[in-house]
């Protein structure tokens, strides 16, 4: 059983490559054989016609739950599909135990439609602190990693987000309208203004990667499910970016955030986006 952060740091130094291998194996065994090969019985709806789950999601999460738990005895896994089946399992994020936060297929809609813009997200968290993350886009063979204090990397190359180009409209990836309520749409409405170029997001994990690479200036999201955000937020942080909620505080994976929130290439851009969002209708969403 891990007892302190220093020991977790030692674990990461020894086993980050093992986590990467587990993520790659999960994708190779359960996701990629079904990519563009899904049968109708392998796709189900959860909350509605745009909230999809597939056998790839379920099986990849089971694979990672077993593999990650074996790598770090005493840890727990909080996965999107397990929480859907039993919402009480989400509460583990609040505790002292090391937690793996897993989204087995982030961008299930894209996956179902044969688009390569999906990824597997894994983050290691303890007491609400993001410690490490893995963002793997198997159809693109891209792996981004981050360790708190150790930088962000894409396929071994260091990532630096850098500030946006002065005078250019900010590209902001926002919560997709298919997944947002009318209230959430109103909260994001202030971004439709001069100097901002909002567009619907795809896979949240890949949008965070785009911010970390300096290809997208910011995100603006209206929900706080930790599996969508944990891995990408650390990636952006370690690439030199920042994330803020409407209260001016960083996003907390433990929940209770003032929404919408942003992650951006630098602190100034994050403040600019939240200043705009503060003119809208604030949201408060329980995880």
Q: What is the pLDDT of residues 187-201, one digit of tens each?
A: 999 999 999 999 999
Element containing residue 43 per DSSP (H, E): strand 43-48
- How far apart (Å, rounded) are the C-alpha atoms in residues 204 and 186? 20
Residue 50 pLDDT exceeds 70: no
pLDDT at 19: 98
* Residues ≥6 apart with Cβ < 8 Å to 195: 169, 170
Residue 282 pLDDT exceeds 60: yes
Band of the pLDDT at 245, cuts 50, 70, 90? very high
| pLDDT tens string 82-135 | 999 999 999 999 999 999 999 999 999 999 999 999 999 999 999 999 999 999
pLDDT at 286: 37
Band of the pLDDT at 8, cuts 50, 70, 90? confident
The 3-class secondary structure across 143-193, one letter per residue, is: EEEEECCCEEEECCEECCCCCCCCCCCEEEEECCHHHCCHHHHHHHHHHCC
Mean pLDDT of 132-143: 98
> Could you give the C-alpha distances from 148 to 122, 124, 217, 240, in angstroms and in order?
14, 10, 22, 12
| pLDDT tens string 171-220 | 999 988 877 888 888 999 999 999 999 999 999 999 999 999 999 999 99
Mean pLDDT of 62-73: 97
pLDDT at 260: 95
Residue 36 pLDDT exceeds 80: yes
Band of the pLDDT at 285, cuts 50, 70, 90? very low
Residues 236, 243 contacting (CB under 8 angstroms): yes
Band of the pLDDT at 154, cuts 50, 70, 90? very high
Mean pLDDT of 34-63: 86
pLDDT at 1: 46
Burial of 255 (0-12, 13-18, 19+ CB in 10 A): middle
For residue 56 the two structure tokens come to: 């790839």
DSSP for residue 251 = P
Residue 4 pLDDT exceeds 60: no
What average pLDDT does the chain have?
92
pLDDT at 287: 36
Mean pLDDT of 72-83: 95
């Amino acid at each position: 059983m891990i007892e302190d952060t220093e020991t977790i740091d030692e674990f990461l130094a020894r086993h980050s490559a093992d986590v990467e291998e587990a993520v790659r194996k999960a994708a190779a065994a359960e996701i990629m054989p079904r990519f563009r090969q899904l049968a109708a019985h392998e796709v189900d709806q959860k909350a509605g016609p745009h909230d999809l789950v597939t056998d790839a999601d379920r099986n990849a999460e089971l694979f990672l739950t077993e593999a990650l738990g074996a790598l770090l005895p005493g840890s727990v896994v909080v996965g999107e599909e397990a929480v859907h089946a039993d919402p009480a399992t989400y509460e583990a994020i609040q505790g002292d135990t090391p937690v793996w936060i897993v989204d087995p297929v982030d961008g299930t809609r894209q996956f179902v439609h044969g688009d390569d813009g999906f990824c597997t997200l894994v983050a290691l968290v303890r007491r609400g602190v993001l410690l490490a993350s893995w963002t793997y886009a198997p159809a693109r063979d891209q792996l981004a990693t981050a360790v708190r204090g150790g930088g962000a990397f894409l396929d071994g190359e260091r990532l630096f987000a850098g500030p946006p180009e002065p005078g250019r409209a900010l590209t902001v990836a926002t919560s997709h309208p298919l997944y947002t309520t009318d209230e959430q749409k109103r909260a994001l409405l202030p971004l439709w203004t001069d100097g901002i170029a909002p567009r619907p997001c795809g896979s949240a994990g890949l949008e965070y990667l785009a911010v970390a690479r300096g290809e997208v200036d910011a995100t603006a999201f209206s929900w706080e499910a930790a599996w969508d955000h944990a891995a990408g937020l650390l990636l952006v942080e370690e690439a030199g970016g920042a994330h803020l909620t409407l209260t001016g505080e960083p996003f907390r994976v433990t929940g209770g955030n003032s929404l919408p929130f942003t992650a951006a290439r630098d602190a100034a851009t994050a403040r600019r986006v939240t200043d705009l969002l503060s003119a809208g209708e604030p949201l408060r969403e329980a995880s």
